Amino acid sequence: MPTLPECCGAFEDRWPFRQRLPGLSFVQTQTSPEHFHPDAPAQAALPEPPSILNAQPKRRTDFLAGRLCAREALTTLGGPVACPDQRGDGAPAWPDGFTGSISHTDGLATAVAGLSEYWMGLGIDLEPMIDDERARRLAPRLLTPDERARFRNRLEQAPGALVTTVFSFKESLFKALHPVTGQRFYFQDAELMDTPNRDKTTLRLCTALGPSWPEGSTLEGHLTDCHDRCLTLVTVPA
């Protein structure tokens, strides 16, 4: 039976967001790249793609931990005991009947998996806090003009927290929608319509992503803190 390698901590599967959603499973693990061993993928029964075989231990640990979280989330939903394959663009290829998303940052990896009868797409993202000075520089690139006006007070008072949250939501949105639409889009192509908080948030497309996703389409986002990091989730209902 596959076992967790030393570079990955025990799985945590407590649902992190305030609103519980149907047909979803969330799993996270803390990571220690300094404990990565070349035998770790075999120990976990997870073959590595050729693209990362010569990568640094941190990248190999992140890949391994994220895929193992995904495998655990899938099995919780009754899915196959298998990690998602890798698509040509590097994104996970989920088995039939399931969708999901993976994210990792320094010291932590997460995955969410969902039943396709409930969800067409899912996007999850973990981000460490951006410092205030860097956030002020990034704001014009990451926030639309309407967002900068809408969140003007927060941008002045807590730019790091606001920009980190907006950035993370837009990363989650891309992960959720790109596999569904096949269209690439960028930070100025979507916006948050209300103040990010620990409950639901609405994201709106500022550009069309095909006939099924016209400009003005909205999706639901969720936000929480996770080990001192910003954790966001965007869901695309089936």
Annotated binding site for Mg(2+): 125, 127
Can you say whether the dihedral through the CA atoms of 190, 194, 196, 201 is positive or negative?
Answer: negative
CA 200 to chain centre: 16
Of 11, 24, 86, nearest to 53 by C-alpha is 86
How far is the first Cα of the chain from the last one, in angstroms, to the nearest whole number? 34
- Let me know how many helices (H) and strands (E) the chain has, helices first: 6, 10
Q: Indicate the burial class of 168 (C-beta count within 10 angstroms; 0-12, 13-18, 19 or more).
A: buried
- The CA distance from 208 to 122, in Å, is 19
Q: How far, CA to CA in Å, does 103 sit from each of 127, 178, 195, 213? A: 9, 15, 23, 25
List, as residue ranges, the binding site for CoA.
Answer: 59, 67, 103-104, 125, 171, 175
Q: How far, CA to CA in Å, does 189 sit from each of 93, 119, 143, 163? A: 25, 22, 10, 16
List, as residue ranges, the binding site.
Answer: 59, 67, 103-104, 125, 127, 171, 175
